[in-house]
Amino acid sequence: MANGSAEAVIGERDYRIPQRIERLPMTSVQRWISLVIVIAVFFDAVDMGAMSYLLPSLRDYFGLTAATAGLLSSMSMAGMLVGSFLAGRLADKMGRKALLQYSMIIWGLGGILCALSWSVASLIVFRFLIGLGLGAEYPVANAMISEFLPTKVRGRWLTVMEGLAPIGVIFAGLLAWIFVPIIGWRWVFVFEAVPAIWIFFVRRNLPESPRWLESVGREEEAHAIAAELEHKVQKVTGSELPPIPEVTYVSQKGIRAKFGDLWVGRYVKRTVGMAIVWPLALLGYWGIQSWITALLASSGYTIQKSMAYALLIQLGGIPGFLVTTYLIDKVGRKATLIIGLLGSAVMAYLYGNAPNLTLLIVFGLLLQYFFWTLWPALYAFTPEVYPTRLRATGTGFVMSMGRLGAILGPYVAGLILGKDYVQGPVFIMALVAFVIAALAVLLLVPETKGKVLEEVAA
């Protein structure tokens, strides 16, 4: 390999793809691949965050009751349930890259249609369509990041991907705060659909996952992509690559992914644990998050001031995910996730019982801090507990179960609020959900810190 050519690298075909990926030092080559995926997910976060800010305007425009407003907020989650479940299965059969592109087309189209909606019913349908695309994108993006990166940086990049979500939510708030008073809520949906053009960058710059290709027996393609990555990394570093490490490898060749495999052997506890954590965490999160601006408006603040306060509160998420990028590889995925869940439980209660605006903002900032400790840790953790052949299927399934909680959260919160907007029980609901989720993580899900994906599967 002294000449650094792709042909020389291909000479190492006797090694498995995980070994070839694990030995690569982190360079601009992997960072660019990761960035293409991360930016696509960031645009998702902008779109998902929009409803928290637009709900008061939509409520006034369409004359919505609290229950109907909650149903509207839940529809994108319903779409995500279907999208994440179907995409997980399809991505394990058809490949990661194609599904990522299809998902972007769907949510971009959904955003444009939301801007053109003519009734509550049409808006509900189009929000479902957006959710379908967003739900398809998340498990595929998580699987791709997990499969392209070596163990030593995998957790950090998965955390960064999900950690950009609070910035996306803040960006959505800025769009709503600036443009709703000037040109109305419809244009906010248009602005949020435009980034779907990022699909062209995905198509040109993102290779298929070599780990997935190897798992379905397409070894020629897998090793060709691995060789190209090695050649590019060697060119960037200007030196020979490190020795190929020994990796505990569980052969996946010729084994077709089946949904039933999630419920066999060591994967039963993992699947049950994650299928408890995801819906409860999303129930608590969206039960609060989707109503933040509307609850402020119901307390007597103008819609413009409510948006501003909600936007301020979201800033707490930025230090949350920054700290998590450090914690996740130091104390582990499991401990970080439990800290996020229990911190969210405590802050949900304090936020819901804040006696004045100052404490409301302080507790709101801390609530967002723990929200964005919780979410990056959970998104990094989930794909790591499954082998390559089941990664998108398993991740898609537990995320789709999570969408049940996300659907119920805003709707149940709306029912609890009723005509008088009685807020206290909503935050008690969130507290209980977060505590039970933390117990499920503690008792059912294994730690994956510092382990190669194939070692976790072994």
Whether 1 is covered by a domain: the verdict is: no
Average pLDDT (218-247) is 80
Number of domains in the chain: 1
The pLDDT tens digits of the residues spanning 311-333 come to 888 889 888 888 888 888 788 88
Per-range mean pLDDT, top range of 49-63, 69-83, 337-351, 419-433: 337-351
For 266-387, where are the E strands, in sequence order? none
Token representation of residue 387 = 């082998």
> For residue 438, how many other CB atoms are within 10 A of its CB?
23
Please answer whether residues 270 and 264 qualify as being in contact, where contact means their C-beta atoms are separated by less than 8 angstroms.
Answer: no
Alpha carbon distance 360, 365 (integer Å): 9
Question: 315 vs 299, which has greater pLDDT?
Answer: 315
Q: Is residue 147 within 8 Å of residue 308, measured between CB atoms?
A: no
Q: 99 lies in a domain?
A: yes
CA nearest neighbour of 49 among 328, 359, 313, 390:
313
Q: How many CB atoms lie within 10 A of CB 382?
A: 30
CB 79 within 8 A of CB 131: yes
pLDDT at 157 over 50: yes
Give dist(CA 415, CA 426) in Å, integer.
10
Nearby residues of 1 by Cβ (< 8 Å), 6 or more positions away: 8, 9, 11, 12, 234, 240, 241
Q: Read off the pTM.
A: 0.68
Residue range 372-410, pLDDT digits in tens: 898 888 988 888 888 777 777 888 788 878 878 888 887
Model confidence at 260: pLDDT above 80? no
**What mean pLDDT is predicted for residues 104-108?**
85
Q: Tell me the one-letter amino acid at 307.
A: M
Model confidence pLDDT, tens digit, residues 341-351: 999 999 999 98
Q: What is the CATH number of the domain that holds 233?
A: 1.20.1250.20
In single-letter form, the type of residue at position 132 comes to L
Going by C-beta distance under 8 Å and a sequence separation of 6 or more, which residues neighbour residue 246? 19
Tell me the one-letter amino acid at 141: A
| Paired tokens of 165 | 């979500």
Q: Is residue 149 part of a domain?
A: yes
Taking residues 134-159, report their average pLDDT: 78
Range of the domain at 53: 6-457
* Residue 285 and residue 371 in contact, taking contact as beta carbons nearer than 8 Å: yes
Secondary structure letter of residue 301 according to DSSP: -
Q: What share of the chain is helix, strand, coil (3-state, %, to 5)?
A: 80, 0, 20
Q: Which of 357, 388, 370, 384 is nearest to 438 (CA)?
A: 370
- Among residues 193, 211, 233, which one has the least CA distance to residue 6? 233
Cβ proximity of 150 and 391 under 8 Å: no
**Domain assignment of residue 203, yes or no:** yes
Give yes or no for residue 451 having a pLDDT over 60.
no
Tell me the pLDDT band of 419, cut-offs 50, 70 and 90.
low
**Mean of the per-residue pLDDT values of the chain:** 80
A 10 A CB-CB count for 287 gives: 27
